[in-house]
């Protein structure tokens, strides 16, 4: 299952999210739960909840099915240092 999820992320989700200055990373996979982390606008931007609930979760669900929990973590942006 991990390979199928990674392929989905690499070939479908990341190219799609990159157009909106976002990314997704697969963190952990087991039989009961899949954990991914989103960064950029998909984490905190306008419409981020819709991207996660309407794009990311349904795509992951096609691989893992309905029995597996999906947890989507939001990467906290790093503050830019002042010179």
Helix (H) or strand (E) holding 27, with range, is strand 22-29
Is the pLDDT assigned to residue 75 strictly greater than 80?
yes
* Structural domains of the chain, with CATH: 2-74 (3.30.300.130)
Q: Tell which residue, 82, 74, 83, 73, has the closest CA to residue 28.
A: 73
Give the list of residues 6+ apart from residue 68 with CB closer than 8 angstroms, or none.
31, 32, 33, 34
Q: Tell which residue, 36, 38, 39, 18, has the closest CA to residue 27.
A: 36
Is the pLDDT assigned to residue 79 strictly greater than 80?
no
Euclidean distance between CA atoms 65 and 51, whole angstroms: 19
pLDDT band (50, 70, 90) for residue 78: confident
**pLDDT 10s digits, 1-56:** 999 999 999 999 999 999 989 999 999 999 899 999 999 999 998 899 999 999 99
More confident residue, 80 or 25: 25
């Amino acid at each position: 299952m991990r390979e199928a999820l990674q392929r989905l992320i690499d070939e479908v989700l990341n190219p799609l999210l990159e157009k909106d200055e976002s990314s997704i990373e697969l963190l952990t996979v087991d039989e009961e739960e899949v954990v991914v982390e989103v960064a950029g606008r998909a984490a905190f931007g306008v419409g981020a909840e819709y991207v996660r609930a309407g794009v990311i979760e349904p795509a992951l669900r096609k691989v893992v099915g309905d029995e597996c929990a999906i947890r989507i973590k939001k990467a906290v942006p790093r503050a830019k240092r002042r010179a």
